[in-house]
Structure 1
């Protein structure tokens, strides 16, 4: 990835040049989606109820869509194939979730505080998905596997 050219200290550049780091970082980025997709798949009835609770009807359709996006999109990002599609789908799902489930503007007290934090955590996650898509097409100059 030629991290030395970016002005990083030598030890940081050495760490960032490790071939195992990009796939591990991509897996960590989407880990919540993998866990969420597996949990929804394992207890589909609860997933349907969750979707209906947030006003998404029919619940079974939204639950099935969430499972496909969470697992399929995660696979695209982890295996660095069709990253734009996987990260884009995960970002869209996250945007829906942040507006539906974290409506801090309608809440007060502790609920407002928690929803506000969750809203902006989701926004940061969308930004990270955009960034992983931006670097997906960059070929490493050292010939090692990068974030592509």
Structure 2
């Protein structure tokens, strides 16, 4: 690579590899869970009904547990305190919820396409949280 390319890479690295960008990336990764928790708090009856739809009983304690998990795990991730734990909590929650809510293989054919896409997007989120935990626990590739 030429000197200009190295300068461009160094400039991009300096601008992108910063605590602010890191925290923003974590916030974006947690955003669906924060939004979900706040929505459930605003409409607790709807949250309870959602738990019932997934066969979770008693539904109200399950709704409280989900709200608590989404807020607590996101808080751990964003604060940096036991970030790995929060990340693994949201990864496990995402996988479990995916099998409860994203069962595309049981859906009518017309709904399968969008549901399949959402199912695999959630696998991507779980993988992102696993990478956060991996990194926080000291994982590195030496690249």
Do they fold alike, i.e. is TM over 0.5? yes
Secondary structure of 1:12's aligned partner: helix
Tell me which residue corresponds to 2:61. Answer: 61
- The answer (yes or no) to whether the contact 2:76–2:83 under 8 Å persists in 1 is yes
Give the gaps of 5 or more residues in structure 1: 1-7, 139-148
Higher relative contact order (CA 8 A, sep 6+): 1
Secondary structure of 1:56's aligned partner: coil
Give the TM-score taking structure 1 as reference length. Answer: 0.82
Give the TM-score taking structure 2 as reference length. Answer: 0.85
Considering only CA atoms, is the larger Rg found in Structure 1 or Structure 2?
2
Secondary structure of 1:20's aligned partner: helix
Note the aligned Cα RMSD (angstroms).
1.8
Shift of 1:22: 0.8
Shift of 1:95: 1.2
Q: Relative to total residues, which structure has the larger helix share, 1 or 2?
A: 2
For 2:131 and 2:115, the matched residues in 1 are separated by: 24
Shift of 1:38: 1.0
For 2:11 and 2:131, the matched residues in 1 are separated by: 23
For 2:19 and 2:85, the matched residues in 1 are separated by: 24
Give the gaps of 5 or more residues in structure 2: 1-7, 139-143
For 1:41 and 1:98, the matched residues in 2 are separated by: 21
- The answer (yes or no) to whether the contact 1:23–1:79 under 8 Å persists in 2 is no
Tell me which residue corresponds to 1:144. Answer: none
- The answer (yes or no) to whether the contact 2:84–2:137 under 8 Å persists in 1 is no
For 1:54 and 1:114, the matched residues in 2 are separated by: 19
Shift of 1:110: 2.6
- The answer (yes or no) to whether the contact 2:95–2:126 under 8 Å persists in 1 is yes
For 1:94 and 1:19, the matched residues in 2 are separated by: 26
- The answer (yes or no) to whether the contact 1:73–1:89 under 8 Å persists in 2 is yes
